[in-house]
Amino acid sequence: MAMAEKAVVLLSGGMDSAVVLASMQRDGFECHALSFDYGQRHRIELECAREIATHAGVVEHVIQAIDLRAFGASALTAEIPVPKQGGVGQAPAVPGVIPVTYVPARNMLFLSCALALAEARGARDIGIGVNAVDYSGYPDCRPEFIRAFEQTANLATKAGIESLRGPWFRVHTPLIDLTKAQIIRLGRSLGVNFDATISCYDPSPSGLACGECDACRWRAIGFAQASD
For 110-137, letters b (16+ CB in 10 Å) and e give bbebbbebbbebebbbbbbbbbbebbbb
CA angle 49, 32, 78 (to 5 degrees): 40
Nearest-CA neighbor of 219 among 22, 2, 13? 13
Using CB under 8 A as the binding rule, the residues of this chain from 133 to 152 that contact a copy of itself are 139-140, 142, 144-145, 148-149, 151-152
CB of 69 to a copy of itself, least distance (A): 10
**In terms of residues, how long is the chain?**
228
Paired with 62 in beta bridges are: 34
Using CB under 8 A as the binding rule, the residues of this chain from 106 to 135 that contact a copy of itself are 106-109, 112-113, 115-117, 119-121
Nearest-CA neighbor of 9 among 110, 152, 145? 110
* Interface segment toward a copy of itself; rule CB under 8 A; list 39-47, 160-168, 196-204, 205-213: 160-168
Q: Which letter does DSSP use for residue 141 in this model? A: G
CB of 146 to a copy of itself, least distance (A): 9
Side-chain half-sphere of 51: how many Cα atoms within 13 Å?
A: 15
Q: Which of 30, 80, 102, 190 binds a copy of itself (CB under 8 A)?
A: 102
CB-nearer residue toward a copy of itself: 78 or 190:
78
CB of 101 to a copy of itself, least distance (A): 11
- Rounded-to-integer distance, Cα 218 and Cα 222, Å: 6
Spatial contact of 12 and 49, defined as CB atoms under 8 Å apart: yes
Residues 164-203 as x/- pattern, contact with a copy of itself by CB under 8 A:
----------------------------------------
- Rounded-to-integer distance, Cα 14 and Cα 52, Å: 10
CB-nearer residue toward a copy of itself: 24 or 62:
62
Spatial contact of 7 and 17, defined as CB atoms under 8 Å apart: no
* Interface segment toward a copy of itself; rule CB under 8 A; list 58-66, 83-91, 177-185, 199-207: 58-66
CB of 131 to a copy of itself, least distance (A): 16
The reply on whether position 86 binds a copy of itself by CB under 8 A is no
The reply on whether position 45 binds a copy of itself by CB under 8 A is no
Q: What are the residues binding a copy of itself (CB under 8 A)?
A: 62, 64-68, 70-74, 98, 102-109, 112-113, 115-117, 119-121, 139-140, 142, 144-145, 148-149, 151-153, 155-158, 160-162
